[in-house]
Structures are given as structure tokens and as C-alpha cells.
Structure 1
Amino acid sequence: MDRKHVEEWLATYERLWRTPGTDALVTLFTEDASYQQGPYWTPVVGLPAVLAGTAAGRFARRLLT
């Protein structure tokens, strides 16, 4: 993996984060993915948990804006 690949992945992630729903996010994560939002957060593990966390994060963000 090189810098260009990482930059493309991040750009795609940001675009999909702003897209309603979570269906398209399955193209970025594997079934056994883990996602940690910060250095002291407990990671969520597994694609269903990652997608649920993404949906919850979007909901919380809408409440704060």
C-alpha cells in the first residue's frame, strides 16, 4: 500500500460517509474489519458493527448540528 492508495481510500471513505445509507461502505471494509474512532476508544469489530457505528455516528452528528 502506498500513499496514493491511502489518499484514494480516504477520499472514497469521506464521499461515502456523506452519502445516505451504508450500503456503499461495504466496498471499503472486509467482513472482519475493525474500526476505532480514537486512540482510547474500544474498536468495533465486524462489518455489521462497523456499518451500525457509522449509521449511529451520522445520526449523532445530525443531532449536534
Structure 2
Amino acid sequence: MEDYDVPSAASILASVKEQEARFERLTRALEDERRNVSLQLERGSLPSDMLAGRTTGMSNQPLAWQQMVMQ
């Protein structure tokens, strides 16, 4: 096998470290979304008169984890 076909240990390690960092970012983004959904569910279970004038913060923008995946 020729040398240029075999990735070096350093390049493999760098790739793994980048994947780990991306996984950590995605994990944090998913946890943030879980908290947001939990808050929205709590708000949804409150009587409607307690919610008067409040918005749920929902929009047409992608969720944080979706933005991370699209990068």
C-alpha cells in the first residue's frame, strides 16, 4: 500500500478530537432544546389566564441542534 493512502496516526487523532468536539457542541445544543421544550410544556400546563400577554418564544427558525448539524 502506498504511503499517501494511509492516514497518519496524527491525522486520525485530529479527526477524532474534532468529532468529539462536535459531539459535545451537539450534546449541549440538544440539552438546551430539551430545557426549552420542558419550559414550554410547563407553560402549556398553566391556566390560560396566567399566560395572558406571554409568548412561547416559538419561531420559524431552526432549533439550536439543527443549526449545529447544518454547519
TM-score by length of 2: 0.33
Larger Rg: 2
Larger RCO, structure (CA 8 Å, separation 6 or more): 2
Higher helix fraction (1 or 2):
2
TM-score by length of 1: 0.36
Higher strand fraction (1 or 2):
1
